[in-house]
Amino acid sequence: MSAPPFDLSGKVAVVTGGGSGIGRAIAEIFAVRGAFVHICDVERDAAEPVAAGIAKSGGKAAAHRCDVSDQADVHRVFATILGAGPLDILVNNAGVSHIGTVEGTSEEDFDRLFRVNVKGVYNCTYSAIGAMKERGSGVILNMASIAATSGVADRFAYSMTKGAVLAMTYSIAKDYARYGIRCVSISPARIHTPFVDGFLKRTYPGKEAEMFAKLSATQPIGRMGNPIEVANLALYLCSDEAAFATGTDYPLDGGFLRLNG
């Protein structure tokens, strides 16, 4: 009897930014499908409840406080993870956002986004790729964005970083295909996460519902996506069923890229 589709039993995964939103949904569905999930987040108080919830449901997970922008910290965490055994899947999901044109982006803002969104992907990939290469297998999934390929107003620095993530995805896939390592990315449009709710509360107090409806309408499908919808695609791309997929970006955007205008 063959295993059910998208089975991750016996696999070990790292999910950065796994304490909330998309990262949390990915960590939880990976665990449901049998993976041991290492949840890395800059906030330990965010990562630990996710790991505890997975364990309570019968899954396997560990929480790690990890600042992906700090190479020494990343090396420390990955040394612990790799010291316990092989790593099959790396999901580079941790990221931060920023609202503003080039004129509204300070050097501090620009550097902060680059450190987390770009250098963070580099740091984690650099720490994992050697072990994957030695073993002759592995999957790296990077979280890009429709902002990488589409002009999104007031997202100058964020778009820059996600464009870099897309380029890194293609480069890694090209360099490491011969070692049995796949690298792909997902480019979501707006996804309803706690970040969105916090942004609306801070930026549009008293008008949260109005602005939520406006942002939802930018997707031709008429709503924002849900984290579990991104997680379902991540599960497929990181499973053996997607063994032929590498060097490709997968938009998940409710029609944003092709149906607007």
Residues known to be catalytic: 158
Q: What is the 3-state secondary structure (H, E, C) of 203-243?
A: HCCCCHHHHHHHHHCCCCCCCCECHHHHHHHHHHHHCHHHC
Residue 198's pLDDT is: 87
Name the residue ranges covered by the structural domains of the chain. 12-189+227-248, 191-224
Q: Give the per-residue pLDDT at 194.
A: 87
* The pLDDT of residue 1: 53
The pLDDT score that the predictor gives to residue 189 is 96
- The residue with tokens 């796949």 is 182
Q: How far apart are the C-alpha atoms of 210 and 204, rounded to whole Å? A: 9
Taking only the tens of pLDDT, the chain with its 261 residues reads 567 789 999 999 999 999 999 999 999 999 999 999 999 999 999 999 999 999 999 999 999 999 999 999 999 999 999 999 999 999 999 999 999 999 999 999 999 999 999 999 999 999 999 999 999 999 999 999 999 999 899 999 999 999 999 999 999 999 999 999 999 999 999 999 988 898 889 889 999 999 999 999 999 999 999 999 999 999 999 999 999 999 999 999 999 999 986
Domain 12-189+227-248: CATH superfamily is NAD(P)-binding Rossmann-like Domain (3.40.50.720)
Please tell me the pTM assigned to this model: 0.96
DSSP character for 42?
A: S
Counted residue by residue, the chain has a size of 261
